[in-house]
Amino acid sequence: MFPFYVFEHWWGLLAEENRDARRTYEAPKEFNELLAFPHIFLPYRAIEGVLRALERLKIVPTSLNYSTIRGRVRNVNTKFPEANDRLEVIVDATGTSANEGGQYIIAIGYRIA
């Protein structure tokens, strides 16, 4: 599912997209689908931070700002396969809390409604 071809052909895809464009794009439109996936789990600002980190690590040629990410992801129609008996789900809830506070609230006797 991960579109590695986007990174392999980044500059070619970008040049083709910018050929007849009125404004210059910073990333190819195929990159939009890649951005839509983390938005299922992360807000736009977090995706912006991840892209900046990936750019510093030289994994992504350029990072995008919040408004560009938002505009691109809003226009992507993400479809997932239908659930069936063979679907497996793995969840890692490390650091995720289902209540308002931590263990210290339970230890001092407060209840969270």
Q: What is the pLDDT of residues 1-25, one digit of tens each?
A: 556 677 788 888 888 888 888 888 8
Q: Is residue 95 part of a domain?
A: no
Q: Is the pLDDT of residue 101 over 80?
A: no
How many domains does the structure of the chain reveal? 1
In a domain? residue 105: no
Where in the sequence is the domain holding 18, given as residue range(s)? Answer: 4-80
In a domain, 112, yes or no: no
* pTM summary value: 0.58
- The span from the CA of 28 to the CA of 49, in Å, is 19
CA distance 28 to 4: 13
Tell me the pLDDT band of 109, cut-offs 50, 70 and 90: low
**Is 98 part of a structural domain of the chain?**
no
CA distance linking residue 73 with residue 104, whole number of Å: 39
In a domain, 56, yes or no: yes
Task: Tell me the pLDDT of the chain averaged across its residues.
Answer: 75
Residue listed under structure tokens 């969270």: 112
Enumerate long-range contacts of 16-25, CB under 8 Å, 24 or more apart: none
* Of 86 and 110, the one with more pLDDT: 86
Sequence-separated (6 or more) residues with CB below 8 Å from residue 30: 3, 5, 6, 13
Could you tell me if residue 108 is inside a domain? no
